[in-house]
Amino acid sequence: MYRYIIIESKHDHYLDDEVISLLGEIINYTKVDKDHYQAILYFEHDIDLSFEDVVLNMMSDTLSDLRIFKSHHFASEIERENHLLFIIQLLTKVPFSKYYYLDDKVLVKHFMYHLTEDMKRFFLRKFYQDSLMNETLRCYLDANLNMVNAAKQLYIHRNTLIQRLEKFYHTTGFDVRIFSDALLVYHLLD
């Protein structure tokens, strides 16, 4: 499982090593790529902390304006690198002062009415053109997030539907059983 975090400092401030050392206490990172205003920390484990709280604490401790992007996990380093390059491009289009914490969900919400096919492909990952999963998701969303009704419409057992939704969540990070994630996925499928 491969993951990364991007830490950015406001454009007119230098990203100092104290920020990275603070994160080093939380994350056992394997590699760091750093320039003056941005650092990318690569790691391979799950973290049970709220990064929204972490970045707020870091900003107050270091007296600097920061924002953090936290990735979901990837099966390979190549997938992680492709996602990273795409996210770096997207972050240039998001005003720095609008968010201090970002992830795929925040970016989809930000670009919700201007989603490109490339964005949909990156956020839906391997399910971008998976007709079975897309039909499952659309049916579940059209059934107003009702498992029983969606399973009946799909002619599958309720447990099969649950397994498909779990697989989608595990791969993309979007849990369509939660309304806010379901709304984002609805726009990604549109």
- Ranges under pLDDT 50 in the chain: none
Residue 14 lies in a domain: yes
The CATH number of residue 163's host domain is 1.10.10.2840
User: Does residue 85 share a domain with residue 26?
Assistant: yes
Among the listed residues 14, 22, 177, 158, the one whose alpha carbon sits nearest the alpha carbon of residue 5:
22
Domain count, the chain: 2
Tell how far CA 53 is from the center of its chain.
Answer: 17
pLDDT one-digit tens code per residue, 30-63: 888 888 788 898 988 777 777 777 777 777 776 6
How far is the C-alpha of 108 from the C-alpha of 120, rounded, in Å?
A: 9
Residue 110 lies in a domain: no
User: Does residue 97 share a domain with residue 142?
Assistant: no
pLDDT of residue 151: 96
How far is the C-alpha of 37 from the C-alpha of 14, rounded, in Å?
A: 5
What domain range includes position 71? Answer: 3-102
The whole model's pTM is what?
0.87
pLDDT of residue 39: 86
Residue 171 lies in a domain: yes
Cβ–Cβ < 8 Å for 71, 87: yes
User: Does residue 156 share a domain with residue 73?
Assistant: no
Residue 107 lies in a domain: no
